[in-house]
Every structure is written in structure tokens, then in C-alpha cells.
Structure 1
Amino acid sequence: MQPSNLRIALFSGNYNYVRDGANQALNRLVDFLLRQGVQVRIYSPTVANPAFEPTGNLVSVPSVAIPGRPEYRIPITLPARVRRDLAEFAPNVVHISSPDIVAHRAISWARRRNITAIASIHTRFETYLAYYRLEMLEPLVRAIMRRLYRRCDAIVAPAESTAAVLRAQRMNRDISIWSRGVDRDQFHPGRRDMAWRRGLGIDDDAMVVGFLGRLVMEKGLDQFADAIDLLASRNVKYRVLVIGDGPAREWFGQRLPDAVFIGQQVGPDLARGLASSDVLLNPSITEAFGNVTLEAMACGLPVVAADATGATNLVRNRETGILVDPFDADGFADALETYARDPELRARHGETGLKFARTMDWDQINSAVLKMYLRVTEKRARLARFTRRS
């Protein structure tokens, strides 16, 4: 089988209506696949004013807004209209990227037709429950996800640390790695702009602690704020720069009244804000892969991160950053103080991280997914021939 023989039906809970690391990776994958001659059709919720134009052909799937989080939508059904479109496209691979209702329906559709089914993991959804006081539902959610993923031929995870968790949870036997790259034309140390920093009222000798991401509690905003509270008592000069927006913006602003909030940024403005920081603090434990961590490293910043999936595959402790127990606010503050008092260490760790980021090429990384599609599809075809002969 050649790449041009592949017809991929990609199901996404959020392909382009809200910008995040997961859908940026999916759009980059689709772009790569199209350049290899693969045919791709995407099925996802749509909105009137999406965050960005989609890569590839996008078919709208019915959805409803999530209560309390209306910016996100849940796909709810595969109506006759979408099923007809799917049948006419005639995929030989169905790829799901979020464990929602439509993903379950899509896998059932593929199974009935003996079509290869693939799942990609983009976040640790079960870890979100703790932030909404719903921990008691975690066993149920994990069981539902296990039923979905074990009906797939294979799973791709963004990091070995995440794959190890999936194996321990018995999600599937065939789990391989689809890592993430970084746009080095966008993110690099040359984006650093001290004049821009001064325009925000930040002194040159203040260590800028950056936060990058959507302002939602599951990104570890409480741990971030607690660490900054502790750092404030340690007689070091620092400022907090927050890049991003979201429903917890007011809460975060009240916790960090002296922080500089610049809202959601894209393109060169995003890279300038990140590169003009001095260290990234990323306390999130919900990541399957820390996209913002890699982007910070590409800008030459050391990273202080939670010792959890999404960071351990990127941050080499005491070499490119510092890993901290996820719920140790004192540990986060200690790490930040270390960098504030030792700019040379900060620069050395940043340079080492930059060298690593330069190895993360998107096309090379996405080629692993293409090879996985071909391998698993050929395996299913061999099994089908064997079954017919038997």
C-alpha cells in the first residue's frame, strides 16, 4: 500500500473553532498527509466565526455547547447527512482524536465495515475531573475510554510517558508515539524584544515568569498562583507575564494583581511574548504533550514544570529546566528562585533546551503517523485475506 491509497476520515471534537495545541497538531498532520497524496476528510463541530481556517475539507457535525464552557462544543450524533457523506468518501481509515459520543459512533461505523480504526491521544481527559470536584467519576470515565480505545486497531500517544499510562490502564496493546514538533520560523530567541517588555512596564533586571495557555483551572492556575505568592516573599525581583485568555481570566487576575495580562496572541506576537519571558512555569498535569513547553524551549527559555505526562518527555531535570512534584507549590517557588538568583544557570538550561527543540521537525514527526496508518491498514488487510481463505 502507498500513501496515495489512503483515505482518512478524521473525527475531531475541535478542529478549528477554538485554537489549542491539539487542533494545531491535527491541522499540521492533515497538511502533511495531503502533501503526501493522502485523501483526508474531517468531521467536526463548526461555528460561525472559527479561530482559524481549517486545513482540508471539513464537514460539520451536530454539536451542543458544554454547560459552563460555551466556547467548547460536544459532537452529539452522526446524522444521515453525515453518514451519507462518509459513505461517499469511502475511507479505509477512521481516525478519532477525542473520546466523545461521535467518536464512539464512528468506531462502530468502521467496525461494521471492517475498516481500520485509529485513535490519537491529545490530553488526559480523566485528570480534568479533579478540578471540577468530580473525582468519583474517574473510574467510570476511564472504563468508557477503555471500551472505546480497545475497539481501535491502534493508538498513537504524543509521548512515551503518556503511552506508559495508557498501557498501565490497558487501553490498547498497539500504542505507538506521535510526538509534536515546533515551528522554528515562529518560535526562536530572535523574537525577544526588550523594548516591548519595557513598554509593558517591566524592568530589564526583573525575571519574567511566563504563563502560556488557555485560562482554565485544569491548566494548574491554582498551583501557579500559589507558587507566585511564595516567590513574592523571597526577596527576588520578578514579574509575571500571562499570555492567553479564558473563563478563569477574572479569577487569575484577582490572584495575581501585579501580573501583566496580554490576552490571547497568535503568530509573531505570540512568539514575541514568549521569547521576551525569562522562564516558563507550566504546572499543568492534564497534558498529554506540553506544546507550550516545547515552544518555550524553542525560544531559549528554561521550563519549570510539573513532573507529569506532557513534561517529562521534554524537560530534562536540571538540564533544560526543573521538574517539580505537581502539588508542591514550595517546590515551584524554589525552582523559580533558583533561576532568579542564577541568570547564568537560566541561560545554560535555556540553551540546552533550544538545542533539543531544534531536533523536533514536524514533517519527520508526522511521517510516523503515516507509517502507522500504512502498517495497521496492511495488517487488517492480511487478516481479512487469511479469514477468507480459512
Structure 2
Amino acid sequence: MTRILHILDHSLPMHSGYTFRTRAILKAQQALGFEVRGVTGLRHTAGGPCVEEADGLRFHRTEGSVSGPPGWREWREIGRFAQGIESVVRDWRPDILHAHSPALCGQAALRVARRHGLPLVYEIRAFWEDAAVGNGTGSEGSLRYRLTRALESRVVQRADAVVTICEGLRRDLVDRGTPESKITVMPNGVDLSLFGSPPDRDAALARDLGFETGGKSCPVIGFIGSFYDYEGLDVLIEAMPALVARHADARLLLVGGGPREAALRAQAENSPAADAIRFVGRVPHHEVERYYALCDVMAYPRKRSRLTDLVTPLKPLEAMAQGKLVAASDVGGHRELIADGKTGTLFAPDDPAACAAALAGLLADRVHWNSYRTAGRNHVETRHDWRTNAGRYQDVYQMLSHISLPRGIVAAA
């Protein structure tokens, strides 16, 4: 049985978009007949044993810590992570190393792959220098930005195969000089086994949040996720007075937290539509579906930036899988996922008036809600189901070398 060792920034039992995509990949590969494990670096901050089982998956932890000035500290981190990977390679003897961004993971894996003559797949989920700009921890063009980009380019150049999650990232790598034949697009996907019948609307919770007027349910716009600036939640809050002017009973539900939470709460308190906006903070993962069930429309008003134009988010796909209407800003990452007027509604980014008009139009168009929901669910099932998309990995692995596929698997022509 072919063994794949995944090299990861962090993993379950931590919860993030990164760990959920990792879980989906590893579970789908197990179903295809591969034997899989993961090894995490020093940025996996959850306590636990050095070898940990989570959701039926085995993860090895790199132990220790590093210090020093920026740059030197990261180089030490790569070295320590390489030692952790090396330990798993010696004990478990994988056939392929599959590293996932950031480039620190890729560089650590590259050292071990070359030392042991193993093929290396490097998978890019986002350019982390752009993600740092987006979440406010970096600035475009800074020394750190340029060094991170240079390290990523080095790993891409030396890896045996490269995987990206979307066309935007693929095009950027090609523009940098990466051969197109070296890159495979593995779209963001949803494990549909986790999205069966959505739970019923919790009437008591809806009443507690003020989502009923005159005994009738209010239409609810929802966002569930992290409150980063690039998500554009300030645009959504600014759009609410115009939306309420057209739909007096409309409500906005914001679930989650993050760096922008305090500023967003202050903005909402000072809004003319303050009474229509509800913050509930972070909720346990098992509670998230209760809040999804309250929402009619999931809104994703991302601002235009390199990050949002290049990278496809996971949340709109999860919303479609749950039969929710989707309204999103017209940035590159959303255009890869949403067909305007068919599977959702797109509106001009960074424009509260356009956001309000799109949401108001969607709320007024109830006659087409079922067609939107059906088209969205079908889109996820046909193009973003992990059970199908994960089969592309076997083609990537087969191309690398003499590796034999697990019994029962046939590489695509």
C-alpha cells in the first residue's frame, strides 16, 4: 500500500479552514486506498501527545521551540521541522512526501525529500505573504513579504509536482515561470458526508436573537467565520441601513471573531441599523449548524486585493452544500465558485450600496430561491465533492516516478 506523509503547519484537533481541508484530503485518500499520516511543525499549538489520533487520522508532532531575530528564527524553525519529518520518515518509510503551504513546510520537506530520494508534492492553498497583508500582520513589498515570496518560489522550483487550490494561484505561478505541466489544480471542496439534512431552524434561538416580528420569521443575512479586514464585514455593516430601508424586517447575524471584532462591534453600535445587527461571538464547532439554520442568505463581501482575487474561499461552498443562498463580492476567488444569477449573486466589492442592492434584490426574489439553492448544491456535488476531486491526487502521484498505485486504483488516462 502506497504511503503518503503530509507535512502540515497545524492539524486537527485544532479547528480552522486549513485543518478541515486537510481532514477532507486525508479521509478521501484513505478511501482511495492510500495509507496516510501527517506531521505538523512548531506552529501546531494545541497540547497533546507526540503522536495523536484525531478523527481516525494519525498525526506526528514536531517538538521543541526556536528563538532568535526574524529570519534567523524561521530558518531554525525549518531545521527543527525537518528533524521532526526525518524521524517519521525513518520510522514509517513513506513513499511520497506531500507538503502543504506555507513555504516553511515545503522547505523543511524539501530537505528530507532530497536526503532520502523521495518525491515531493508541494500544495499551495494561498500565498502566505498575501495572507499576512490581508490579516494585518504584514505589508506588501516589505522585506518579510519579499523573503516569503522568494522562499515559496524556491520550493515550487525544486518540488517534483505542485498543486494549487484554484486557477488564480495557478496563473500566478505560471507568470513566475513555473511550467504549466508541473501544476495541478485541486479545487477547494466539501466533504458532503458532513452535510446531510440541515437541522431545523431553532425557533427559540431565533426569538432570543430577535429574528421574529409580529409572529413572523425575519429574513436573516449571515456571516460565520473569522473577522479579518479583507472579509469586508465593515462594508456589510455599512450596507445594512440601505437594506433595512427596503426590507424593514431584515437582520444581520455575525458569528465568529478575530482582529476586527472590536471595531466592527463599535461600527454596528453607531449604525442607524444597529437594532438589526446581532453579534454572537465565537461558538463551539458543533453549534455552528444551529446558526447556519437561522440564515436565509450567507454574505461574503470580501474586499478586492491580491489575496481575494487569487484565492478561492471554502465558506461559500459549505453554504451551498447546506442549501443556503449566497451573495458575494465580485472578486476573482468568488468568480471561480459562483455563477452570478445561477448559483448566487455577485456585487461590486468595496461598495456598500452595491452590497445592499444585491441583498435587497435577492430577498425580494423569493420565487427563485429554490432554483438558486438547487443549482448551488448541484454545483458542489459535481465540481467540489472531495470524494471525486481527491482522485486527481492519484494522477499527480503516478506522474512522479515509479510509485505503484494501491491495488484497485487505475490512473486516469
TM > 0.5: yes
Q: Alpha-carbon deviations, 1:53-82, whole Å to 9, x = none?
A: 3643212124579xxxxxxxx955336455
Moved more, 32-41 or 117-126: 32-41
Q: Secondary structure at the match of 1:327?
A: coil
Q: Residue in 2 aligned with 1:153?
A: 160
Indicate yes or no: 2:262 matched with 1:250. yes
Q: Secondary structure at the match of 2:162?
A: strand
Aligned counterpart for 1:221 among listed residues 229, 233, 237: 233
TM-score by length of 2: 0.78
Aligned 8 A contact 2:103 2:155 in 1: no
Aligned 8 A contact 1:237 1:340 in 2: no
Aligned counterpart for 2:394 among listed residues 356, 359, 370: 370
TM-score by length of 1: 0.82
Aligned 8 A contact 2:397 2:403 in 1: no
Aligned 8 A contact 1:75 1:100 in 2: no
Alpha-carbon distance, 1:278 to partner? 1.1
Q: Alpha-carbon deviations, 1:141-175, whole Å to 9, x = none?
A: 43332222121122222233442333234345311
Moved more, 208-217 or 175-184: 175-184
Alpha carbon RMSD of aligned pairs, Å? 3.2
Alpha-carbon distance, 1:277 to partner? 0.6
Q: Residue in 2 aligned with 1:387?
A: none
Aligned 8 A contact 2:100 2:125 in 1: yes
**1:94-113 equivalence runs, <5 A:** 94-113=97-116
Aligned counterpart for 2:26 among listed residues 2, 23, 30: 30
Q: Residue in 2 aligned with 1:60?
A: 61
The percentage of counterpart residues that share the same residue type is 24
CA distance in 2, matches of 1:265, 1:322: 27
Indicate yes or no: 2:279 matched with 1:270. no
Q: Residue in 1 aligned with 2:363?
A: 340
Structure 1 pair 236/344, CA: closer, same or farther in 2 (3 Å)?
farther
Aligned 8 A contact 1:186 1:268 in 2: no
Alpha-carbon distance, 1:97 to partner? 0.9
Give the length in aligned residue pairs: 368
Aligned 8 A contact 2:61 2:84 in 1: no
Aligned counterpart for 1:202 among listed residues 199, 203, 211: 211
Alpha-carbon distance, 1:367 to partner? 1.7
Structure 1 pair 81/212, CA: closer, same or farther in 2 (3 Å)?
closer
Q: Secondary structure at the match of 2:89?
A: helix
Alpha-carbon distance, 1:235 to partner? 5.4
Indicate yes or no: 2:151 matched with 1:144. yes
Moved more, 8-17 or 337-346: 337-346
Structure 1 pair 9/202, CA: closer, same or farther in 2 (3 Å)?
same
Alpha-carbon distance, 1:98 to partner? 1.4
Alpha-carbon distance, 1:230 to partner? 4.8
Alpha-carbon distance, 1:338 to partner? 1.2
Aligned counterpart for 2:139 among listed residues 134, 143, 160: 134
Q: Residue in 2 aligned with 1:321?
A: 344
Aligned counterpart for 1:301 among listed residues 324, 331, 336: 324
Aligned 8 A contact 1:189 1:275 in 2: no
Aligned 8 A contact 1:240 1:260 in 2: yes
Alpha-carbon distance, 1:190 to partner? 3.9
List gaps (5 residues or longer) in structure 2: 68-75, 405-413
Alpha-carbon distance, 1:29 to partner? 1.7
Q: Residue in 2 aligned with 1:118?
A: 121
List gaps (5 residues or longer) in structure 1: 66-73, 381-390
**Matching residue's letter, 2:233:** L
Structure 1 pair 325/145, CA: closer, same or farther in 2 (3 Å)?
farther
**Matching residue's letter, 1:335:** A
Aligned 8 A contact 1:302 1:349 in 2: yes
Aligned 8 A contact 2:39 2:59 in 1: yes
Aligned 8 A contact 1:227 1:329 in 2: yes
**Matching residue's letter, 1:156:** V
Moved more, 222-231 or 202-211: 222-231
Q: Secondary structure at the match of 1:103?
A: helix
Aligned 8 A contact 1:21 1:291 in 2: yes
Alpha-carbon distance, 1:294 to partner? 0.8
Alpha-carbon distance, 1:335 to partner? 1.0
